[in-house]
A and B are shown apart, each in its own frame.
Chain A
Amino acid sequence: MEVYLDNSATTRCYDEVAELVYKVMCKDYGNPSSLHHKGVEAEQYLRYARQTLAGLMKVNEKEILFTSGGTESDNIALIGAAMAHYRRGRHLITTRMEHPAVLQTMAYLEKQGFEVTYLPVDRLGRISLEDLERAIRQDTILVSIMHVNNEIGSVQPIAEAGELVKRCNAQTLFHVDAVQGFGKFRIYPSRMNIDLMSVSAHKIHGPKGVGFLYIRDGARVNPILYGGGQQKGMRSGTENVPGIAGLAKAAEMVYAGLDRDVDRMYELRRMLIEGVSRIEDVRVNGCPDREGAPHIVSLSVRGVRSEVLLHALEDKEIYVSAGSACSSNKPQISDTLKAIGVERDLLSSTIRFSISVFTTEEEIRYTIQALEEMIPMLRKYSRH
């Protein structure tokens, strides 16, 4: 039985989405900027996609900027905001457990002379609003907070943070990296004081290489790509029409069953956590209950290296992710795991399971059973 539990890495595309993408690539393949009928037809897909996404989030169509995915959206949000507002201030705030697309971009901005405050997180991976309040200054131009953490599934109090940011400094922009949260939670940017929000299609059963950035009307952000002036000059380059059509279709489908599917995922997650908790010396990172995201389970298995456990599971056709990529010659310890204070010898023993709507109870049972058999065996052989 093939069990795919790496849905935070990427998801299987919905068949309907793949069919639509194929149709746009091979039949309605026009360039939306072309003046003729083929171009108009392609433009319709963009218009429809904008309408769909705007409708799901209850925002205005013109507030959607299509991008190549999460990383590009984060880059436009951070660099674009920094470039547009550096005269007003050079201070940015983020957390210690962001995705590298945010952390590395912040590091780049630091080299350009910006100052960045990194908020600490507690053992469950949540920031404190008091810390945030203390960090916001007169010259703070942007606060960037991840909605759902990709490694341990902790959920940040986005709405409260948004309100706080605006109360402390009305001019500060609030960016949310919602790559893991979109499609699991209903997010209404305008009601949550969100100015910028990054979303990726392939985490919600859409195609890879496409996503969007929500930019609140009136929020000033500079483009980072220049060229033919597509999307009102905010992001030059011919629009990825098949990808965008697929993105909207996937979002539509995910929202259609959202509450029911999320309940089911929480149930599967609870099953998995309960099952593995019976194994000796296995620790669940993050919030095990409904405080956490419905699809992510992070486990630290004492005495077993994550890579080995991953490949052993792979042998049983169970696909998961190493919480922290690590090898003997080049340890790459995850910032997130360090930030929540995972013990040193557990850092390289952490793996992540991530569920999707396609996951079944049977698959979870099979996985628990595999772990029960495998972990004692792997513990027997270790480096001394």
Chain B
Amino acid sequence: MFTAFLIKYAEIGVKGKNRYLFENALVQQIKYALKKCEGEFAVRKTDGRIYVDAVSEFDYEETVEHLQKVFGISGICPMVHVEDEGFEKLKETILGYIDAVYPDKNRSFKVAARRARKNYPLNSMEINMELGGVILDAYPTMHVDVHKPDILLHVEIRDKVYIYSKIIPGPGGMPVGTGGKAMLLLSGGIDSPVAGWMIAKRGVKIDAVYFHAPPYTSERAKQKVVDLAARVAAYTGPIYLHVINFTDIQLYIYDKCPHDELTIIMRRYMMRIAERIARDTQCLGLITGESIGQVASQTMHSLMATNEVCELPVYRPLIGFDKMEIVDISEKIDTYETSIQPYEDCCTIFVAKHPVTKPNLKIIRRHEQNLEEKIEELVQTALDTEELIIVK
């Protein structure tokens, strides 16, 4: 029965002079999301609001599901919109609406009319009273509550008449593309897709880098990462996934450095490589899924050691999260099932039984000097041979 949606956005509303930039971005993101839905839609920005009108038959459930993935939307109000054919006709429409949307009539309600078209014969107060009376007459079990109604029935008189009462929560945040771009280190685990999602929610466009180590990691491990990127891309739009072959670098570190420092040195090189790709692709920062103390390479000491190799800011949105809290989000954004597929990633293949948890920076730097001879060449080769996958 619904034929349109009113899109509510919370945070953008308080922006100042550049508010229109955020609104335009949101309109763009909504249009992009709707492309994947059956049916045709017109997205309009009028009177400080965004409307999505269905201009053909459409699939309601599917449309809501896609709109719920557009950052910047705080609420989605499904609406009925009809031509203005006089007040008598409107009364009928209202009763029909209540009957269809609320089969259980044992509820309180309030009518909130808004007369944007000032030449309408009744003013807002009159519309409220008239329609309230009509509803009470038709459905005696309903009653009016002006303070905390179960149903807040909005009736807006514009070029057409819009009726809505339900608000479906959106994901919040800001429209993707309003906050620059960042490079996500995507591993295939539970954390990194969540971290990317959280930063994207603040309006940031995401690109990603994945370190592949054949034959130690399999093609399926890579496919898993592509699948994860696709889940995140449902919210963020297309993700450019840079696949870096990391095997030779890893084996070289294995040859030249103490094994208990392998993970930390490896991660330092991952950060260095990620930063170089980030700079080449105009990213303003790196994103990782690290959380303090989760594993040996994520202690404060280890984070300091991995952090010092890059100049770009490293965003770690999960830094204070417990594993269970991260799992909750990953279930919500539908990455969990993919993340737990048991394919080995390159961080675990050579991991020492007891890796250092409090790496000493001086010693790490000294051991990295063992790599001087070939490492730059290996890094360059890895960058030159990257595989770029555009994940939609």
User: Are B216's CB and A383's CB within 8 A?
Assistant: no
Interface contact B215-A311, CB-CB below 8 Å: yes
Q: Once bound together, how far apart are the Cα atoms of A327 and B348, in whole Å?
A: 10
Interface string of B246-258 (1 = CB under 8 A from A): 0000010010000
- Chain A residues positioned under 8 Å from B216 (CB to CB): 308, 311
- Which residues of A are found within 8 Å of B219, using beta-carbon distances? 311
Q: Identify A314's interface contact among B215, B343, B351, CB under 8 A.
A: B215
Our pick among A312, A315, A328, A381 for the contact of B344 (Cβ within 8 Å) is A328
Asked if B342 and A330 sit within 8 Å, CB to CB, the answer is yes
Residue B361 lies at the interface, judged by CB distance under 8 Å to chain A = no
| A residues 305-349 in Cβ contact with B at 8 Å | 307-312, 314-315, 327-330
Contacts A327-B343, A327-B344, A328-B344; A381 near B251 (Cβ below 8 A): yes
Complex contact B342–A329 (CB within 8 A): yes
Q: With an 8 A cutoff between CB atoms, is B367 at the interface? A: no
A310 vs B342: C-alpha distance in the bound complex, in angstroms? 17
CB-CB nearest in chain B for A374: B215
Which of under 10, 10 to 19, 20 to 34, or 35 or more describes the interface residues of A?
10 to 19
Complex: chain A residue closest to B217, CB-CB: A311
CB neighbours (8 Å) of A383 from chain B are 349-352
Q: Which residues of A contact B251 (CB under 8 A)?
A: 381
Interchain CB contact under 8 A, B342 and A307? no
Cα distance, A315 to B218, chains bound together (Å): 11
B353 within 8 Å of A (CB atoms): yes
If A311-B214, A311-B215, A311-B218 touch, whether A328 touches B350 (CB-CB below 8 Å) is no
Q: Which residues of chain B are near A382, meaning CB under 8 Å? A: 350
Contacts of B66 in A (CB 8 A): none
Residues on the A chain within 8 Å of B352, using CB? 383-384
Complex Cα spacing A222 to B351, Å = 53
Task: Report whether B218 and A384 are in contact in the complex, using a CB–CB cutoff of 8 Å.
Answer: no
Closest partner residue, chain A, to B353 (CB atom): A384
Complex CA distance for A42 and B352, rounded to whole angstroms: 62
Mask for A187-220, Cβ within 8 A of B = 1, else 0? 0000000000000000000000000000000000
Contacts of A381 in B (CB 8 A): 251, 254, 350
Interface assignment of B259: CB less than 8 Å from any CB of chain A = yes
Q: Which residue of A lies closest to B342 (CB)?
A: A330
| Inter-subunit contact A384/B259 (CB<8 Å) | yes
Contact residues of B between 133 and 147, Cβ < 8 Å to A: none
Interface string of B362-374 (1 = CB under 8 A from A): 0000000000000
The listed residue with most A CB atoms (<10 A of its CB), out of B215, B219, B259, B351, is: B215
Tell me which residues from 321 to 380 in chain B have a Cβ below 8 Å from any Cβ of chain A: 342-344, 348-353
Bound: A204/B282 CA distance, A: 55
B215 pairs with A312, CB closer than 8 A: yes
| A329 proximity list for chain B (CB < 8 A) | 342, 344, 348
Q: Which residues of A contact B353 (CB under 8 A)?
A: 384
**Minimum CB–CB distance for A235 against chain B, Å:** 34
Q: Mark B207-234, 1 if CB is under 8 A from A, else 0.
A: 0000000111111000000000000000
Closest B residue to A307 using CB positions:
B218
Shortest distance from the beta carbon of A74 to any chain B beta carbon, whole Å? 26
Asked if residues B215 and A308 are in contact (CB atoms below 8 Å), the reply is yes
The smallest C-beta distance from B175 to any residue of chain A, in angstroms, reads 37
What is the minimal beta-carbon distance from B211 to any residue of chain A, in angstroms?
Answer: 16
A329 to B342, CA, bound (A): 7
- Nearest chain-A residue to B351 (Cβ)? A383
A340-384 near B? 1/0 per residue, CB < 8 Å: 000000000000000000000000000000000000000001111
Q: Which of B214, B219, B254, B344: most chain A Cβ within 10 A?
A: B344
* A308 to B352 alpha-carbon distance, docked (Å): 17
Contact check, A315 vs B342: say whether CB atoms are below 8 A apart. Answer: no
Contacts of A384 in B (CB 8 A): 259, 350, 352-353
Interface residues as binary, B106-142 with A (CB distance below 8 Å gives 1, 0 otherwise): 0000000000000000000000000000000000000
Q: Give the CA-CA distance A86 to B352 in the complex, in Å.
A: 54
Cβ of A18 to closest chain B Cβ, rounded Å: 26
Task: Tell me the complex Cα distance, A322–B236, Å.
Answer: 38
Min CB distance A381 to B, Å, is 6
A382 to B350, CA, bound (A): 6
CB of A332, distance to nearest CB on chain B (Å): 8
Task: Out of A309, A315, A327, A330, name the residue touching B214 (CB < 8 Å).
Answer: A315
Q: Which residues of A contact B342 (CB under 8 A)?
A: 327, 329-330
Question: Which B residues touch A330, using CB under 8 A?
Answer: 342
- In the docked arrangement, what's the CA distance between A314 and B219, Å? 10
Q: Which residues of A contact B218 (CB under 8 A)?
A: 307, 311
Please measure, in the bound complex, the distance between the C-alpha atom of A173 and the C-alpha atom of B60, giving whole angstroms: 57
**For residue B254, which residues in chain A have a CB less than 8 angstroms away from its CB?**
381
B residues in contact with A310, CB < 8 Å: 215
Contact of B215 with A315 in the complex, beta carbons under 8 Å: yes
Q: Tell me which of B216, B259, B353 has the highest count of chain A C-beta atoms within 10 A of its own C-beta.
A: B216
- Expressed in whole angstroms, the minimum distance between the Cβ of A229 and any Cβ of chain B is 39
Across the interface, which residues of A come within 8 angstroms of B259, CB to CB?
384
Closest-CB distance, B215 to chain A (whole angstroms): 3
- Closest B residue to A311 by beta carbon equals B215
Query: Smallest distance from the beta carbon of B209 to chain A beta carbons, Å?
Result: 21
Name the residue in A309, A311, A330 with the highest tally of chain B Cβ atoms < 10 Å from its Cβ: A311
CB nearest to B247 among chain A residues: A381
- Chain A proximity of B153: nearest CB distance (Å): 52
Contacts of A315 in B (CB 8 A): 214-215
- Residue in chain A with minimal CB distance to B221: A327
A329 to B295: give the CA distance in the assembly, Å: 14
- The docked-state distance in angstroms from the alpha carbon of A108 to that of B271 is 50
- How many angstroms between the C-alpha atoms of A369 and B219 in the bound complex? 24
Taken together as a complex, chains A and B put the C-alpha atoms of A308 and B221 apart, in Å, by: 13
Residue of B with least CB distance to A378:
B215
> What is the minimal beta-carbon distance from A312 to any residue of chain B, in angstroms?
4
CB distance from B87 to the nearest CB of A (A): 60
* Complex: A381 Cα to B254 Cα, angstroms: 7
Could you mark each residue 26-55 of chain B with 1 if its beta carbon is under 8 Å from any beta carbon of chain A, else 0?
000000000000000000000000000000
Q: A310-B215, A328-B349 are in contact. List 14 more A-B contacts (CB 8 A).
A: A308-B215, A308-B216, A308-B349, A309-B215, A311-B215, A311-B216, A311-B219, A327-B342, A329-B342, A330-B342, A383-B350, A384-B350, A384-B352, A384-B353
Q: List 24 A-B contacts (CB under 8 A).
A: A307-B218, A307-B344, A308-B216, A309-B215, A310-B215, A311-B214, A311-B215, A311-B218, A312-B215, A315-B214, A315-B215, A327-B343, A327-B344, A328-B344, A328-B348, A329-B344, A330-B342, A381-B251, A383-B349, A383-B350, A383-B352, A384-B259, A384-B350, A384-B352
Sort A-B residue pairs by CB-CB distance and give the 10 closest, nearest first: A311-B215, A330-B342, A312-B215, A327-B342, A327-B344, A384-B259, A328-B348, A384-B352, A328-B344, A308-B215
